[in-house]
Structure formats: C-alpha cells, structure tokens
C-alpha cells in the first residue's frame, strides 16, 4: 500500500489527478462566467450555492448527495470499465433503463418471494437485463465489426421504446402515467442509514455502489482477466498476438459494463424515494451522466467514486440555485465544460512531463558531475 | 395514390436533414477527424435558428426569413464546431471525448438560455415557410404532386447542397487534398498540404451543414423547439457508415432511413399499416433496429478513412 502511495505521487497518478482538478476549476470558472452574463446581481450568490452544493442543508443535504450519486456512480463505473477495455459504451442509458425495468417488474409482480429474497432477486434481474442490453452491441462489435458507439446509441432508443411498451403492458398505472409501486419487500433496506441522515431517501444503495467500485477495482488491477481486458484496450493487435481471445473479451467487457448500468437502474428505482419509471420518450439522463462521471474520474474506479460524489454535490447545488432564479441546467453546462477541459488536459500533461524531464535531467547532470569529481579525486 | 404522395412528401422531411448532416460529416471524417458532436451541433443550430425566427417573425416572414435564418444557423454551427476542431486538431485531444462534451453542452445551453430569456424551455415559432404548391412545376402530373406540392424550399436546398458537396470532394483540388489528409496525412504534408488547415476546413464544413440540418429537421416536423433533435445527429453518423463514406451511397442510405422514419411516424395515416395490430412503440423502434441490422451487414468490409480519429503529429511522419 505504501509503495502504491509513493507511485501515486511519483507517477501518472498525480499528473492525472492535477489535470482533473484543473479541468474542474476551469469548468466552474466557466459556470461563474455564464451566471454573470445571465444575471450579474445574483451571480455570486448563485455560484456559492453550486459550490456549497450538498453542504447547504447540513446532514440532509449530504444524504441527498449520496442518494443522487448512487446511480451515476454505477453508470460511471459501467462506462469507465468499458473505457479501460478500449470500448466507448455510450449505451449506459439503455442498459440502465433495461435494468430498472427488470427490477421494477420483479418488484411489482414477484410478491410471493419472502422479504429479503425479493430485493435480491430484483437486483439480480436488473444485472441480467443490463448485461443482455450490453451484450448485443458487444456481439455486433466482436463478430460484425459494428462501431460500438453507434450500436449502443441505437440500443438506447430501442431500449427506451421497448421499456415504454412493456411498462404499458405489464406494470402500468394509467392515471399517473408511470409504473405501479414496487412491493415493500423489494425496496432496498435502509439499514439505519435513515437515522444517520434523517429526512432523506438514503438506503444501502450507496454501500452497494461502493462494493461494486471495490469489485471492479479488484477485477481490473488484481486479476489476469482484468489484465487481458486492459491489454485489449491498449493494443488489440499485440494482445491478439499474445494469444488473448479478443472477441471473447469484447463481449465480456460489454456484458459486465451493461450489468453495472442495469444495477444502477435498480438502485435508483428500488430506493422507495417516490420516483417511478415514467412513460416518456426521453433517454434516461443517468446514463449520460455516467459518461461524465467516467471521464472526470479518468476511468479509475476510485476516481469514479469521487467524481460521482462531486457531480451529485453540484447537482444538489443546482437545485438550490433555483432560489436565485437560475435554471439548473447551468450544472450540465459546467459538467460539459469540465469534460471538454479534461479532453484538453494533454497540454497540461505535456507541461508536467516537461518539467519532470528537466528535473531529472538536472539531477542526472549533477550526478554526472559528482561522479566525475570523485573519479578525479581518486 | 394520395397515400403514395403523402409517403414521398413525408420521406423528404426526414431524409433531407439526414442527407445534409451526413454529407457534412463525410467532410469531417474524410479529412481525418471523427465528429461525434453532430447531435450537439444540430441542436445548437436548431436552437439559434428557431430563436432567430421567434425574434424576427413579427417583422419578416416567408422564404426570405427562412433563407436568412439558414445563413445565421450555418454560421452558428460553424462557430460551435470550431471548439471541436480546436480540441482535436490543435490539442490532439481524444475526439470522441471532445465531441461528447459538445453533445452534452448544446441541449443544456438551449434549455438554460430559453428559460433565462423567456421563462419556458420550448421556443415557439410560426411556420410561414410551408409551400402548398410550387408555381408551374407543381402542376406537372404525378411528378408535381410527388415533389413540388406540400413541401419546403429546404428540400431543394438540401439536394443542391448534396450535389455541390459530392462534386467538390470528388472533382476539385480541395477535395483531393481533403481525402489525402484522411487517408495518409504524412504523405499529404510531405507534398506541402497544410494538414491542420484542411482538417479545420473539414470540421467547419461539417459544423455548418449540421447546423443547417438541425433547422431543416425542426421546421417541417414541429412548431416549437424543445432542445432535442431526436437522435438525428447520431442517425446521420449511422447513415455515413452505412454509406461507406461515399457520397452516392450516403444519398441512398439517407433515403432508406427517411422511409423507415416515415413508416415509424406516419404509419397511422397509411390504411394498410393501420389495420395491422402492432403497437405504436414497435413502429418507433423500426428505424433503430433497421440501422443495427444494416450496420451488421455493411461494417465487415468498412472503407473508413485510414487516418480517421488519429491526431496528426508531424514528428511521426
């Protein structure tokens, strides 16, 4: 662990971390700029609301941040995992919807299951549905060379319409244009967290998300399978030459990625928070938020955890900002600006590595001088 | 017969924006830059255009206003795409990421601006651009009813843009250089072509056309704009891939999707389809399922530009 920490300070880790922080800073400055243009009098107070985010309402706000962060940490993990294996899973939204529907369907219909088991079965159903939805673009990519970005975007739309149709035919509440509520036994247990954060919708979902962060970290960094996946992402030709089954890895990577998104859907809609799946022609925003989370967290599971919390934080800030007559969409603009600056971070990284190279060259030179001196003296 | 006329007229509304955006995307991709930001640029173009119409419709109306708006929208799309060009050409950034950032930015910007200025996020506009019948040409039997009645001048503009774009990329010096930059930028550079400038031109052309495409999509199909172009930017990329990055095939692909989309949205007006008991949602899925199937068959021997998505580095020549 100590060695890893030292690596973090010396190696890529620090540079990546700094470039992320820098991107966030630029994004926030951009947000302030927009607020100033649109309403100069309120801009400063509005901006402070964003910065304070979840901390504005004390413990309740923090609980809200954790609740909002849970699904986007899952979709972020999903997108980030696929990134690590060289795939851009822009279809997290569709997989999220598929998983959410499976969980809600089991939650509403399978009332014969005992309380604890019911919830587990619902989660499992979500995992499977998400995995299935991720598998299709994976298969198309592996065997038909279809660009996974386009394929998974198409799957987003197909998933949205299909889930709308299935909701209307199975678990529909016609009056409210949404799904029926799930049975109480299928909701995620609160496990005392609601006592810790009174007045919020928090439940063990956030702990499940953290568990998945650890699992994905382990898979990517401690197993042969994870190594193979990353090798395929870095250089498909070299890994094929090394005897790695590239096609199998593409499919598996998309399956796991899809399962993670599907889980995110279950964690959101089994939270007993009064949110129901609605029949609207809108692609679920949590899926796209996952892309932002993954990019901001640099596809590192630990980074994704913090990126998810950060985005949850400023999203709460965005809601609070409506007090000052600002539309909360400014948050999405800030996030987009952060992602854009993150894409530009190469400039920053080059700068850092140049500084580092100069340092090491200097050290080399002084070392050589010392060596020469010693030789002369002897 | 009136059903056939109806289908053809509807197909135009869906196919022309796809055609315009996809032919623009061809310029970007064949110069070597993946432009996944088309969706965002379309939204930006449509938003600026509809807002412009909303602001000026009291003093102007009809085709003059439409043409002026198209000009404005083209400029807006071009300017917005500069962000992508800067990131992917100067900064050598990951082109998918910078494109995704633009895609996320555009709808948020459209909603935010609309709500700050007018309180609600939908921007209304009065459709004074509809042409019931083109003089003279509309009176030709069959052809007149097929192509020159119940239409918008954007249809003809779109076809004109397509013809011009197809000619330029194949038969001019600029087109040749652009294609060279997408296939082998090192070789192009070695004979004195400025790769960065050509790629900028490619991205800007795609931005201008995507902006126009966004407006052309919204005007015939709606009377307000709600910060979305229904995934048309992504469909245009699918059209580009299905069309194998070649202009003639893109034309066919765009009309294929146009027909699919028409069936999806207008099936209830077609007596034969209405009598079959298939749920509404299945029709809506058709264009996307068709895209997947078509891509599965056409992606195997892809003729994508060789240097697509790879930032050009002089040092690696």
Residue by residue, DSSP assigns A311-344 as HHHHHHHHHHHGGGT--TTHHHHHHHHHHHHHHT
Is B163 part of the contact surface with chain A (CB cutoff 8 Å)?
no
Note the pLDDT of residue A1: 46
Q: Are residues B238 and A340, on separate chains, in Cβ contact within 8 Å?
A: no
- Give the residue with greater pLDDT, A64 vs A133: A133
Chain A closest CA to B158's CA: distance in Å?
24
Burial letters B237-267, b for 16+ CB under 10 A, else e: bbbbbbbbbbbebbbebbbbbbbbbbbbbbb
- B 124-153 residues inside an 8 A Cβ radius of A: none
Q: Are residues B116 and A295, on separate chains, in Cβ contact within 8 Å?
A: no
Q: Which range is most confident: A188-197, A355-364, B246-255? A: B246-255
- CB-closest option in B36, B280, B285 to A162: B285
Contacts of A337 in chain B (CB under 8 A): 101, 105
Burial letters B180-217, b for 16+ CB under 10 A, else e: bbbeebeebbeeebebbebbbbbbbbbbbbbbbbbbbb
Q: Are residues B93 and A149, on separate chains, in Cβ contact within 8 Å?
A: no
Chain A closest CA to B152's CA: distance in Å?
27
Note the pLDDT of residue A5: 53
Let me know: does B215 contact B50? Beta carbons within 8 Å: yes
Chain A closest CA to B261's CA: distance in Å?
13
**A28 phi/psi in degrees, rounded to 5:** -65, -40
Residues in CB range of A371: below 8 A, 6 or more apart: none
Residue of chain B whose Cα is closest to the Cα of A326 = B116
Q: Which two tokens stand for residue B60?
A: 């102007």
pLDDT greater than 80 at residue A348: no
Give me the percent of chain A exceeding a pLDDT of 70: 95
pLDDT mean values, one per 10 residues, chain B (317 residues): 82 93 96 93 96 88 90 97 94 88 94 89 86 80 79 92 96 95 93 94 97 94 86 89 91 91 80 77 87 86 82 78
Q: Which two tokens stand for residue B245?
A: 């990055």
Q: Are residues A157 and B302, on separate chains, in Cβ contact within 8 Å?
A: no
SS3 of residue B133 by DSSP: strand
Note the pLDDT of residue B22: 96
Note the pLDDT of residue A7: 56
Which residue, among A124, A164, A129, has the nearest Cα to A277 in the 3D structure?
A164
Contacts of A162 in chain B (CB under 8 A): 281, 285
Note the pLDDT of residue A199: 76
CA distances (Å), A169 to each of A123, A162, A357, B271, B281, in order? 22, 11, 64, 25, 12
pLDDT for A74-126, tens place per residue?
A: 999 999 999 999 899 999 999 999 999 999 999 999 988 888 899 999 999 99
Q: Which two tokens stand for residue B216?
A: 């052309």
Note the pLDDT of residue A6: 54
Note the pLDDT of residue B70: 96
Q: Are residues A161 and B281, on separate chains, in Cβ contact within 8 Å?
A: yes
What is the band of A377 on the pLDDT scale with cuts at 50, 70, 90?
A: low
Q: How far apart are CA B165 and CA A288, in angstroms?
A: 33
Let me know: does B298 contact B246? Beta carbons within 8 Å: no
Mean pLDDT of A264-268: 95
Least confident of A93-97, A215-219, A359-363, B38-42: A359-363
- CB-closest option in A34, A157, A162 to B231: A157
What is the band of A342 on the pLDDT scale with cuts at 50, 70, 90?
A: confident
Least confident of A67-71, A199-203, A310-314, A362-366: A362-366
pLDDT greater than 60 at residue A10: no
The pairing of beta strand A178-179 with beta strand B123-124: unpaired
Residue of chain A whose Cα is closest to the Cα of B278 = A165
Let me know: does A327 contact B116? Beta carbons within 8 Å: yes
* Angle between the N-to-C axes of helices A12-38 and A346-377, in degrees from 0 to 180, rounded to the nearest 10: 140
Q: Considering the entire predicted model, what is its pTM?
A: 0.89
Mean pLDDT of A325-338: 90
Chain B closest CA to A373's CA: distance in Å?
38
- Give the residue with greater pLDDT, A269 vs A377: A269
What is the band of A173 on the pLDDT scale with cuts at 50, 70, 90?
A: confident
Which residue, among A333, A337, A329, A326, has the nearest Cα to A46 in the 3D structure?
A326
Query: Beta-strand (E) ranges in chain A?
Result: 172-173, 178-179
Is B112 part of the contact surface with chain A (CB cutoff 8 Å)?
yes
Q: Which two tokens stand for residue B99?
A: 């494109």
Q: Are residues B295 and A292, on separate chains, in Cβ contact within 8 Å?
A: no
- B 233-272 residues inside an 8 A Cβ radius of A: 234, 237-238, 241
pLDDT for B57-105, tens place per residue?
A: 888 878 889 999 999 999 999 999 999 999 999 888 888 889 999 999 9
């Amino acid at each position: 662990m100590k060695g890893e920490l030292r690596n973090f300070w010396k190696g890529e880790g620090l540079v990546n971390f700094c470039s992320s922080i820098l991107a966030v800073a630029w994004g926030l400055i951009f947000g302030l700029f927009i607020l100033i243009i649109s309403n100069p009098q309120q801009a400063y107070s509005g901006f402070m609301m964003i910065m304070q985010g979840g901390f504005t309402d004390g413990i309740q706000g923090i609980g809200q941040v954790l609740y909002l962060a849970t699904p986007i940490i899952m979709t972020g993990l999903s997108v980030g995992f696929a990134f690590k294996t060289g795939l851009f899973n822009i279809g997290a939204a569709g997989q999220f919807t598929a998983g959410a529907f499976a969980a809600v369907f089991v939650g509403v219909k399978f009332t014969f299951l005992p309380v604890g088991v019911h919830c587990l079965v619902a989660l499992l159903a979500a995992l499977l549905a998400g995995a299935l939805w991720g598998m299709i673009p994976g298969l198309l990519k592996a065997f038909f060379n279809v660009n996974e970005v386009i394929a998974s975007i198409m799957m987003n739309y197909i998933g949205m319409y299909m889930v709308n149709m299935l909701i209307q035919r199975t678990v529909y509440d016609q009056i409210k244009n949404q799904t029926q509520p799930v049975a109480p036994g299928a909701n995620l247990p609160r496990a005392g967290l609601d006592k810790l954060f009174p007045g919020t919708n928090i439940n063990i979902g956030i702990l499940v998300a953290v568990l998945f962060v650890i699992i994905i970290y382990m898979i990517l960094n401690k197993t042969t399978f994870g190594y193979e996946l990353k090798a395929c992402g870095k250089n498909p030709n070299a890994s094929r030459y090394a005897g790695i089954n590239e096609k199998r890895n593409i499919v598996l990577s998309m399956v796991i990625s899809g399962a993670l998104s599907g889980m995110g859907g279950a964690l959101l809609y089994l939270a007993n928070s009064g949110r129901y799946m609605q029949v609207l022609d809108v692609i679920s925003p949590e899926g796209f938020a996952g892309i932002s989370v993954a990019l901001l967290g640099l596809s590192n599971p630990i980074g994704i955890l913090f990126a998810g919390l950060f985005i949850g934080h400023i999203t709460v800030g965005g809601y609070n900002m409506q007090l000052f007559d600002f539309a909360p969409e400014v948050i999405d603009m800030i996030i987009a600006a952060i992602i854009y600056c993150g894409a530009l971070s190469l400039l920053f990284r080059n700068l850092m590595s140049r500084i580092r190279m100069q340092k090491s060259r200097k050290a080399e030179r002084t070392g050589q001088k010392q060596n020469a001196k010693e030789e002369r003296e002897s | 017969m009136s059903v056939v006329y109806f289908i053809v007229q509807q197909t135009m509304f869906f196919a022309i924006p796809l055609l315009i955006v996809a032919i623009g995307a061809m310029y970007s991709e064949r110069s070597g830059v993946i432009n996944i930001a088309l969706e965002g640029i379309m939204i930006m173009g449509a938003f600026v255009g509809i807002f412009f119409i909303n602001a000026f419709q009291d003093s102007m109306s009809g085709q003059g206003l439409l043409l002026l708006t198209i000009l404005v929208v083209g400029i807006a799309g071009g300017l917005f795409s500069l962000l992508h060009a800067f990131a992917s050409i100067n900064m050598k950034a990951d082109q998918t990421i910078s494109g995704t950032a633009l895609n996320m930015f555009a709808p948020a910007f459209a909603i935010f601006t609309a709500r700050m200025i007018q309180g609600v996020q939908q921007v209304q506009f009065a459709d004074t651009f509809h042409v019931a019948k083109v003089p003279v040409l509309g009176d030709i039997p069959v052809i007149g009813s097929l192509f020159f009645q119940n239409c918008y001048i954007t249809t003809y503009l779109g076809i004109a843009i397509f013809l011009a774009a197809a000619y330029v990329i194949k038969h001019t010096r600029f087109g040749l250089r652009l294609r060279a930059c997408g296939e082998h930028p090192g070789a192009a550079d070695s004979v004195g072509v400025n790769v960065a400038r050509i790629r900028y031109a490619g991205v800007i052309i795609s931005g201008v056309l995507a902006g126009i495409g966004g407006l052309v999509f919204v005007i015939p199909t709606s009377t307000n704009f709600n910060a979305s172009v229904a995934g048309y930017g992504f469909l245009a990329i699918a059209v580009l891939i299905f069309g194998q990055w070649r202009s003639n095939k893109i034309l066919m692909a765009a009309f294929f999707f146009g027909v699919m989309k028409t069936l999806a949205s207008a099936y209830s007006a077609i007596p034969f389809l209405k009598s079959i008991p298939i749920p509404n949602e299945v029709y809506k899925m058709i264009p996307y399922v068709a895209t997947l199937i078509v891509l599965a068959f056409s992606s195997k021997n892809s003729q994508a530009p060789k240097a697509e998505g790879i930032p050009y580095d002089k040092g690696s020549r």
